[in-house]
Amino acid sequence: MENEKQLTEHESLQIIHEMINAAKNDVKADAFIFLLWGYLVLIASIAQFIMLELNLNHNGTPWLLMPLGGLITIIYVFQKNKKTRTKTHVTEFIKFIWIAFGVALGIIMFCTSISGFQLMPLIMTLYGVGLFLSGGALKFKPLILGGVFCWLCAIAGFETQSIYQLLILATAVLGGYIIPGHLLQFNNRTANV
């Protein structure tokens, strides 16, 4: 114990700074996840809206993209975890945010199909929570604003007919997932240059 070197204040701050940057870069690489889910939900919601407007049968079919997104996410995260050696409190916190999001979403989807609540605004509310907390943990303002934007879209959704909630959902993922996801991706590129 006497042989251990005492860190100076500067060295301690440097280590903390490096850990925070490692966590930020680790999550910024996950811009892929925000973009994947943003585009999948955007495509599914617009496709269902068009199918409903055209009175086509099986108009819920576009949502079959979601299990595909889940599979892609699982494979991506599994591959990423094989490569990542450092786990920080920030990355672990964000992981738990999105696990909680998935569980809450599953509960809401199951219960609303039984009781008939408006599903889309509830989902947008959950999107807002996940994005707001992730943005706060990363200190990345576009995700925080994306969360607030999803909450505003949820409020609008509660005041809108069900079919138009699909368009509001598409708008919510555009402003909450896709734009911040591209900004996160851009930030990651410029940080590595």
45-79 per-position pLDDT tens digit: 999 999 999 999 999 999 999 999 999 999 998 88
Q: Is residue 4 part of a domain?
A: no
Q: What is the pLDDT of residue 115?
A: 61
6 inside domain: no
Confidence grade of residue 1 (pLDDT, cut at 50, 70, 90): very low
Structure tokens that stand for 76 in this block:
């991506």
- Would residue 154 count as lying in a domain? yes
Q: How many domains does the chain have?
A: 1
Q: Is residue 40 part of a domain?
A: yes
Encode pLDDT of 137-159 as tens digits. Answer: 888 999 999 999 999 999 999 99
Identify residue 14 by its one-letter amino acid code. Q
Judge whether 1 lies within some domain.
no
In a domain, 3, yes or no: no
The confidence score (pLDDT) of residue 40 equals 97
Q: Is residue 168 part of a domain?
A: yes
For 166-172, the CB contacts below 8 A with 24+ separation are 166/45, 166/46, 166/48, 166/49, 166/52, 166/120, 167/45, 167/46, 167/49, 168/120, 168/124, 169/41, 169/45, 169/120, 169/123, 169/124, 170/41, 170/42, 170/45, 170/46, 170/49, 172/124, 172/127
Residue 74 lies in a domain: yes
Closest by Cα among 131, 184, 177, 180 to 37: 177
Give the separation between CA 166 and CA 81, rounded to whole angstroms. Answer: 34
Its domain, for residue 98, covers 12-191
Helices in the chain by DSSP H: which ranges?
9-28, 31-53, 65-83, 89-115, 119-138, 141-158, 162-173, 179-191
